[in-house]
Amino acid sequence: MSKVVLAFSGGLDTTVCVPLLKEEYGYNEVVAVTVDVGQPKTGLKEAEKTAKKLGVEYHQVNAKKEFVEDYIKPLIKANGDYEGYLLGHAIARPLIAEKIYEVAKKEKADALAHGCTGKGNDQFRFEATFKHLTQEMDIIAPIRDMNLTREEEIDYARKNDIPITTEGKEEWSIDENLWSRSIEGGKLENPSFEPPEEVFEWTNSPKKTPDEPSKIKIRFEEGEPVCLNNKELDLIEIIKKLNQKAGKHGVGRVDMIEDRILGLKARENYEHPAATVLQEAHKDLENLTLTRNQLNFKSNIENEWSDLVYKGLVVDPLFEDLNSFINSSQKNVNGEVKLKLHKGSIKVISRKSENAIYNQNLVSFDEKKLDQKHAKGAIKFHGIQSRNLKNKKGD
Amino acid sequence: MSKVVLAFSGGLDTTVCVPLLKEEYGYNEVVAVTVDVGQPKTGLKEAEKTAKKLGVEYHQVNAKKEFVEDYIKPLIKANGDYEGYLLGHAIARPLIAEKIYEVAKKEKADALAHGCTGKGNDQFRFEATFKHLTQEMDIIAPIRDMNLTREEEIDYARKNDIPITTEGKEEWSIDENLWSRSIEGGKLENPSFEPPEEVFEWTNSPKKTPDEPSKIKIRFEEGEPVCLNNKELDLIEIIKKLNQKAGKHGVGRVDMIEDRILGLKARENYEHPAATVLQEAHKDLENLTLTRNQLNFKSNIENEWSDLVYKGLVVDPLFEDLNSFINSSQKNVNGEVKLKLHKGSIKVISRKSENAIYNQNLVSFDEKKLDQKHAKGAIKFHGIQSRNLKNKKGD
Amino acid sequence: MSKVVLAFSGGLDTTVCVPLLKEEYGYNEVVAVTVDVGQPKTGLKEAEKTAKKLGVEYHQVNAKKEFVEDYIKPLIKANGDYEGYLLGHAIARPLIAEKIYEVAKKEKADALAHGCTGKGNDQFRFEATFKHLTQEMDIIAPIRDMNLTREEEIDYARKNDIPITTEGKEEWSIDENLWSRSIEGGKLENPSFEPPEEVFEWTNSPKKTPDEPSKIKIRFEEGEPVCLNNKELDLIEIIKKLNQKAGKHGVGRVDMIEDRILGLKARENYEHPAATVLQEAHKDLENLTLTRNQLNFKSNIENEWSDLVYKGLVVDPLFEDLNSFINSSQKNVNGEVKLKLHKGSIKVISRKSENAIYNQNLVSFDEKKLDQKHAKGAIKFHGIQSRNLKNKKGD
Amino acid sequence: MSKVVLAFSGGLDTTVCVPLLKEEYGYNEVVAVTVDVGQPKTGLKEAEKTAKKLGVEYHQVNAKKEFVEDYIKPLIKANGDYEGYLLGHAIARPLIAEKIYEVAKKEKADALAHGCTGKGNDQFRFEATFKHLTQEMDIIAPIRDMNLTREEEIDYARKNDIPITTEGKEEWSIDENLWSRSIEGGKLENPSFEPPEEVFEWTNSPKKTPDEPSKIKIRFEEGEPVCLNNKELDLIEIIKKLNQKAGKHGVGRVDMIEDRILGLKARENYEHPAATVLQEAHKDLENLTLTRNQLNFKSNIENEWSDLVYKGLVVDPLFEDLNSFINSSQKNVNGEVKLKLHKGSIKVISRKSENAIYNQNLVSFDEKKLDQKHAKGAIKFHGIQSRNLKNKKGD
């Protein structure tokens, strides 16, 4: 009796994995598990239905709370951004993998399986966490290890009467969670193909957005969003509301070229209205409350943090080190930021903070508190080494 | 007989400097010089008129060509950006200072003067270049060294019958050149004061922008913009046209908190439609044509480059070193990028390049050229150190 | 009645300050305070004697414990190093300034004073802490503000019958604390002047060192030294013993060119046997216990940490952020390192750790546990982007 | 008829490869090629003899000149250093691979082969260059792909009457070129095993070094060593002489833990007297001639440069970009450095440069040219943001 637990989304890849795990890998029992990290309810139901049709044991694990607390909050504080990608899916993978492992442990399974292909990033992210958690269970990746194309999978599904929803029409490969929606594949693989409006679901086309702008106000405490328009809300609620509000104004689309872990460049499209708004607001508040030294150095921390998350390497002790820095840096990131959403654009229009490193008395051209003559001494030494190099006797 | 050459914009500060240089500093002769780096013609005429009223020798130096070739091109290739500020004015200062010095040399002047206050950045930028070019001439900054406020300057002007245009109404302090327009001072000093529409001149309010989006296409060669919508144009022309086209769609506004050189944080507003478009397009093309290693490291180069330019330290030999890196990195940045401008938003919608590091055969989910199984070996080692730390016997 | 508290070392500068503060600045009362951060006992006694001769109130504050716990331990974990300088004196300044301020507060003084010149770094370090702690007390720097040279100070002392020990012979300017001894000034200002043996006091000349090498073993826990040669010791004791042991073998001399805060380059000589040994050992142990990702990124943290300490900016919140990172990174830095000291050279010869990221089974050429073929998959993608750029069809 | 060209050192691995390529891989013809990058003559002769015994076509390619000009010079200017390893062997691999490929092209070979194992770094380095140069030739790595241990290789050699020199006694794995000698394997794999004196050949044991120190003087022009003790010499000659001179004094040993490309940590021992001397001298001269901004930023460039070289990724366009920066930075690195070698220790004792950023008039405590009072203005702003954060009204 051998048992495997499969990370199951109900899409083509993971659906095909079920019979493959039995027939090609010889597992007696396949347990399909969907981890709920905020993807749409319809998708979750669809997954459950498909699992039932496939006749396997099926679980759904609600990880939304952990997702927001343990992953999205650090992401916001870190201004997580990899080449312009806000890490929406990357950030969910380690948690999904952990939840899959927990089921497997409870089920006393012999193996863990995922449906990732061998060209993408998720195989790295899943397996880094799987291998970190267990050295006893086998790790199986049928699509990759059998080198299957989408077409071959569809063929196989048809021949074996596997319930797949695509039926040829599903041109795009979609992934969703609370934070982000990604669209890739098909004609979009071509970097010069303009994405048609139909691929977007979370954001309105600028043409369909309201003619009047909306203003929103977000309050942060220690770098975490706590109020939306003066109303104290749970972060899950803030994100849901912002996805709706900002999506209505067409805010949060990204069309980009991305360097995958293996070194392949790929064209990617994302939608994430709340993520765009929160990052814009958080950065602006940091500009007001962090010292120049902090801002300048934190950008290195952010790059490294984002690189680790992109690679799924949150198990590296460096990840915890970086988070220690980030948490320390957020102590003064308290205050509120007002933004205007309009026709796909987002602008910060005002901000204030009880910890602002800002002193109107010092900076104003109308104030004399700071004697301007002091600057003369500072300038005396500005660029002095370059002058010294040129003029051996000068200063 | 002593002579001083003054960097003259015709604004309040530099206008007041003229009599101060004579009366307070005792110069017999003041030569006022305006350096043309693409500011509006009306401003240039106004400056000339004011200089004549003041009764001093006046020159205008056309430096537009050098500005674009020697400063704007490197800025585009460097994706110049300091905390979100695209460096529009900072980048012009060293050139203005150089031109002022050249006039002073020709005029056999004893001193160089500028009208900067002691709270801002320009005093650093002007003097770093001045002192680098000469150790013989004195450098005079009357407003700073006499610690004058705006109000005191206006008082002085009135009492001494100095022709100033403000007459109380000029609420904002404006600076313009080909690349950028800045608005600061007055109520805008308060970070939570929302900028009224009246402060903007280069960009339409979203409400007044066209209902239909515009698409534009920019071609780069070795990182430099060379064609706009398939038409080969001089970079000055491209910038002028883009300022108009993108400004019409309300693109290119920035409202931010900025860390000045002295450590004061200040609220700043900028407009720079062409700069926004060109940087967006250039970065996108780099994502397609630079290796991940280049992209990742170039971001450090860009930060350092921007920091030096912000501080006016282009005389530091590091500046040339950074430009050597940047020029080398741009060899493959050839291709074109299409963008959509609409209601204040800007989106890249497609891109292509003869040097794209992109291979549809490798990356496509529908292709078998790259055997997915290879990835398994790579994953074997992904995160291995973290596992090793946890599990002394494992791999 | 006005009172000033002076940071007093008993050297020429601070001795001269006492009458200057009375006569030139008009303070009725000068309180001289020496902060004990491990400088030699003879120096402390000398300072006391001089203060008495000067007829002022005098205090000595023992800050050795805080120096080691709050400053030296973080320095060791941070591998503190500025251009090769191990930060021996920079690290003591903020603590000394704090202690001076505490006395001043207790004494209800009106002002704080220091004897730094206007060319060095210590003025920045003292005043950054002073100003951070108080905005009410004045800060006085007589030597700098009166622009005095050494010669002028000696003249003044003679004329005013001030007890100075130099009497012309004191050619070098010396500074000492538990961690380091610096020698500068006089002929040593010339970078091409070879330092004579007489300037060194903590380290033997190689010619006088023992012919037989010594081996020492240091145990670290969470990055802190806890045992010397298997004997558990307080860090103060470890440092004292290592200064003696390694100094005997001539270990720990540094002769360097250093970039001062103001931009002047200066030639500096240092002796710090314990610092050299502890840093060498600590780095070696980190190489064994930190992941490559940690090691690589921590070097950025270390540079920034060292830069802040050099500038005396431990009040910047960034300093605490960096320390949060560093403390997190040290969790696994447990183990021991053996070193050989001989004739001025120091070599790590062996190390071991219960947290070593080292697995002889994996790395050994004699083991088969790790199938070498896996590497083939990893290599498949090594450098793939460069190939793609060159050969559009290849992989 | 199929032909393979093998990178041949004459050691166990490559010797065993010859019959394997014929018998296991079915090549009709094996061409063995040794690339001379300055390894000892005896080794080259040995390799030739072994190749003859094996009965294959054999070539030796003299690449010493290119090695020094194209690889060692950039390495010196870059202060190449990976975790303390001076990159001696890594730097030679791309050139060796290129030379092997050139022979293969001339010989119209079908494949390229190397003898690297699957645990080390050289497989990555060889193949990154091989694959960059050709997509037509196969790349064969028999030892790795057959997962052979050293013991298995020896067994195979004995059974098949292959001429191997080891005969069980060769406890260490040695690699040598002009720049460096490495020793690894056997008992040295254990990080806590102290290396016995017998493993070293280029450096004297401190006990056998001369009792009198030697002083040497090196002159650099644009960062390149051009004179040794006032005698103009070719860089090959300078390196040879320094290896001898400094090796005699026991200078240049490194014992370290190194992070291999695959993520395995390994213990490594190196000897490289000339490399140690030249790097020490070069860095010291840079401290005198580069601005603080250059020094600080160049350290990032050096880390990245060293990382690329370690990984064998000199084909990445980033490598050329980094070299552009480095070459630009070396313009002023002209001057001479004097060092003392004694009993394993190396100390810079003096330096001078016609481009020194050093001005005794400014820095000296005995000079008044630079008015110390100027510093007061600079200090006014030092740490101002931290104070502002704490005290909202202050400055």
pLDDT tens across B352-361, in order?
Answer: 999 999 877 7
A357 within a domain of the structure (yes/no): no
Residues of A249-262 as b/e, b for ≥16 C-beta within 10 angstroms? bbbbbbbbbbbbbb
Domain boundary among A117, A140, A170: A170
The confidence score (pLDDT) of residue C119 equals 87
Same domain, A154 and A17: yes
**Which residue type occupies C326?**
I
Q: Are residues C340 and C382 in the same domain?
A: no
CB contact under 8 A, C372 and D147: yes
Provide the pLDDT for residue A323. Answer: 98
Torsion angle of C-alpha atoms A340, A342, A344, A346, degrees rounded to 10: -10
| pLDDT above 70 as % of chain D | 95
- List chain A residues with pLDDT less than 50: 167-169
Tell me which residue range forms the domain holding D376: 365-390
- Of B292-296, B378-382, C218-222, D324-328, the one with minimum mean pLDDT is B378-382
The DSSP symbol for B85 reads B
Predicted confidence at residue A366, as pLDDT, reads: 67
Q: What are phi and psi of C325, to 5 degrees?
A: -60, -50
Q: Is residue B395 part of a domain?
A: no
The verdict on whether C93 is a catalytic residue reads yes
Based on its alpha-carbon atoms, the radius of gyration of chain D, rounded to whole angstroms, reads 25
**Does any domain span residue D86?**
yes
Q: Is residue A175 part of a domain?
A: no
Quick check: A318 and C297 CB within 8 A? Answer: yes
Q: Same structural domain for residues C333 and C215?
A: yes
- Tell me, what's the pLDDT at D168? 47
Q: What is the pLDDT of residue B170?
A: 61
Distance, CA of C239 to CA of C228 (rounded, Å): 10
Whether residues A187 and A104 share a domain: the answer is no
Give the separation between CA C119 and CA D361, rounded to whole angstroms: 11
User: What are residue A80's phi and psi, to 5 degrees?
Assistant: -50, 125
Q: State how beta strands B173-177 and B180-184 pair.
A: antiparallel
Mean pLDDT of C330-355: 95
DSSP for C193-238, written as a single string = SPPPGGG-SSS--GGGS-SS-EEEEEEEETTEEEEETTEE--HHHH
The reply to whether C191 falls in a domain is: no
CA distance linking residue D286 with residue C257, whole number of Å: 9
DSSP result, D22-66: HHTT--SEEEEEEEESS--HHHHHHHHHHHHHHT-EEEEEE-HHH
pLDDT-derived band at C366 (thresholds 50, 70, 90) equals low
Residue B167 neighbours by CB distance under 10 Å:
8
Using DSSP's 3-state secondary structure scheme, residue C49 falls into: helix
To the nearest whole Å, the CA of C342 is away from the closest chain D CA by 7
Q: pTM, whole model, 2 decimals?
A: 0.95
Give yes or no for a contact between A33 and A103, defined as CB atoms under 8 angstroms apart.
yes
D240 and D385 housed in the same domain: no
User: How much is the average pLDDT of C61-81?
Assistant: 98
CA distance A145 to chain B (A): 5
Mean pLDDT of B127-135: 94
Per-residue pLDDT reduced to its tens digit, B52-76: 999 999 999 999 999 999 999 999 9
Pairing between β-strand C181-184 and β-strand C265-271 as defined by DSSP bridges: antiparallel
- Reported as type and span, the H/E element at residue C348 is strand C345-352
Catalytic residues of B: 13, 93, 122, 173
d(CA C338, CA B263): 46
Q: With bands split at pLDDT 50, 70 and 90, how would you rate the model's confidence at C373? A: confident
Contacting subunits of C (3+ beta carbon pairs below 8 A):
A, B, D
Residues B306 and B378 in one domain: no
- DSSP label at residue A160: T
Packing angle of the helix pair A317-329, A292-310 (nearest 10 deg)? 150
Are C342 and C237 found together in one domain? yes
Subunits next to B (3 or more Cβ pairs <8 Å) are A, C, D
Q: Which of A356-370, B214-228, C284-298 shows the lowest per-residue confidence on average (mean pLDDT)?
A: A356-370
**Given pLDDT bands bounded at 50, 70 and 90, which one contains residue C372?**
confident
Burial of B391 per CB tally in 10 Å (0-12, 13-18, 19+): middle
**CA B251 – CA B285 distance, rounded (Å):** 20
From the list B263, B316, B328, which residue is nearest D320 (CB)? B328
Query: What is the pLDDT at residue C168?
Result: 47
Q: How many CB atoms lie within 10 A of CB B358?
A: 24
| Contact criterion met (CB < 8 Å) for D366 and C149 | yes
Query: Which residues of A carry out catalysis?
Result: 13, 93, 122, 173
Among D355, D381, D388, beta carbon nearest to A378: D381
Confidence band, pLDDT 50/70/90 cuts, at residue B41: very high
Q: What is the mean pLDDT of chain B?
A: 93
Nearest to D357 by CA among C258, B312, B305, B126: C258
Note whether A115 and A193 are same-domain residues. no
**Element housing B211 (H / E):** none
Strands A180-184 and A265-271: antiparallel
Whether residue A177 is contained in a domain is answered as no
Separation CA C174–CA C184 (nearest Å): 7
Task: Decide if pLDDT at C17 tops 90.
Answer: yes
Q: How close A378 comes to chain C (CA, Å)?
A: 9
pLDDT greater at residue B323 or residue D159: B323
Residues C380 and C313 in one domain: no
**Amino acid identity of A270?**
Y
Query: Does an H or E element contain C288, and which?
Result: helix C273-289
Mean pLDDT (whole number) for B207-218: 94
For residues A351 and A285, the answer to whether their CB atoms sit within 8 Å is: yes
What average pLDDT does this structure show over C197-211? 92
Q: Which two tokens stand for residue A173?
A: 């490969």
Q: Could you tell me which residues are beta bridge partners of residue D225? A: D220
Taking the CA atoms of residue D241, residue D244, residue D246 and residue D247 in that order, the dihedral angle to the nearest 10 degrees is 160
Selecting from D288, D317, D387 the residue whose C-beta is nearest the C-beta of C131 gives: D387
Residue of A375 and C326 predicted with greater confidence:
C326
**D290 shares a domain with D220:** yes
Question: Which residue among A194, A288, A349 sits closest to B194, beta carbon to beta carbon?
Answer: A349
CA atoms of B274 and A262, how far apart (whole Å): 35
d(CA B264, CA A190): 47
Residue C147: count of CB within 10 angstroms of its CB: 15
How far apart (Å, rounded) are the C-alpha atoms in residues A24 and A249? Answer: 49
CB contact under 8 Å between D318 and B263, yes or no, is no
Structurally, chain D folds into a number of domains equal to: 3
Angle, helices D292-310/B317-329, rounded to nearest 10 degrees = 30
Higher pLDDT, C314 or B364: C314
Q: Mark yes or no for CB contact C135/D391 under 8 Å.
A: yes
Kindly state whether residues A329 and A253 are assigned to the same domain: yes
Q: Cβ contact (<8 Å) for B263 and D385? A: yes
Smallest Cβ–Cβ distance between B294 and the set D264, D321, D384 belongs to: D321
User: Complex ipTM, two decimals?
Assistant: 0.94
Tell whether the model's pLDDT for residue B167 goes beyond 60. no
Cβ(B48)–Cβ(B34) below 8 Å: yes
Q: Rounded distance, CA C145 to CA D220, Å? A: 41
Separation between Cα atoms, residue D50 and residue D43, nearest integer Å? 10
As beta bridge partners, residue D331 has none
From the list A70, A109, A113, the residue with the least C-alpha distance to A92 is: A70
Instruction: Write out the two tokens for A347.
Output: 């602008």
Query: Among all residues of chain B, which has the CA nearest to that of D380?
Result: B262
* Residue spans of beta strands (DSSP E) within B117-204: 138-140, 173-177, 180-184
Closest CA to C254 of C304, C179, C313, C307: C179
Residues paired with D113 in a beta bridge: D6, D140
Other CB atoms within 10 Å distance of the CB of residue C296: 17
How far is the C-alpha of B17 from the C-alpha of B15, rounded, in Å?
Answer: 5
Subunits with 3+ Cβ pairs within 8 Å of D are A, B, C
Q: What is the pLDDT of residues C144-160, one digit of tens each?
A: 999 998 889 989 998 98
Has residue D358 been placed in a domain?
A: no
Confidence of residue D284 (pLDDT cuts 50, 70, 90): very high
pLDDT at A253: 96
Do the domain assignments include residue D186? no
Q: How high is the pLDDT of residue A90?
A: 97
Please give the sequence-ordered ranges of beta strands (E in DSSP) within A141-264, or none if there are none: 173-177, 180-184, 214-221, 224-228, 231-232, 253-259
Does the pLDDT of residue C9 top 90, yes or no? yes
CA-nearest of C121, C6, C22, C119 to C58 is C6
Are the beta carbons of B294 and D320 separated by less than 8 Å? no
Domain end among B127, B150, B170: B170
Q: What is the per-residue pLDDT across D166-221, written as a single tens digit (0 to 9) for each?
A: 544 467 889 999 999 999 988 999 999 999 999 999 999 988 999 999 999 999 99
Phi–psi pair at B233, nearest 5 degrees: -140, 155
pLDDT band at B366 (very low <50, low <70, confident <90, very high): low
- Average the pLDDT over C239-257 and give the result: 97
Token duo for residue D382: 């030092």
Helical ranges in C70-216 per DSSP H: 73-77, 93-106, 122-133, 142-145, 150-159
Cβ pair B217, B230 in contact under 8 A? yes
Q: Using CA atoms, how far apart are residues D343 and D204, in angstroms rounded to an integer?
A: 9
CATH classification at residue D311: 3.90.1260.10
For residues C15 and C42, the answer to whether their CB atoms sit within 8 Å is: no
- Give the residue-averaged pLDDT of D18-44: 96
Q: Which two tokens stand for residue C87?
A: 């930060």
Whether residue B200 is found in the same domain as residue B272: yes
Considering only alpha carbons, which residue of chain A is nearest residue D356? A389
Lowest mean pLDDT segment, chosen from A159-168, B147-156, C50-59: A159-168
D13 labelled catalytic? yes
Rg of chain C (C-alpha set): 25
Residues of chain D contacting A287 with CB distance shorter than 8 Å: none
The Cα–Cα gap between D163 and A134 comes to 46
- Return the CATH number at B90: 3.40.50.620
Q: Averaged over B219-245, what is the pLDDT?
A: 98
pLDDT at B259 over 90: yes
Q: Of C175, C210, C227, which one is at a domain's C-terminal end?
A: C175
- Alpha-carbon gap, residue C138 to D332, rounded angstroms: 44
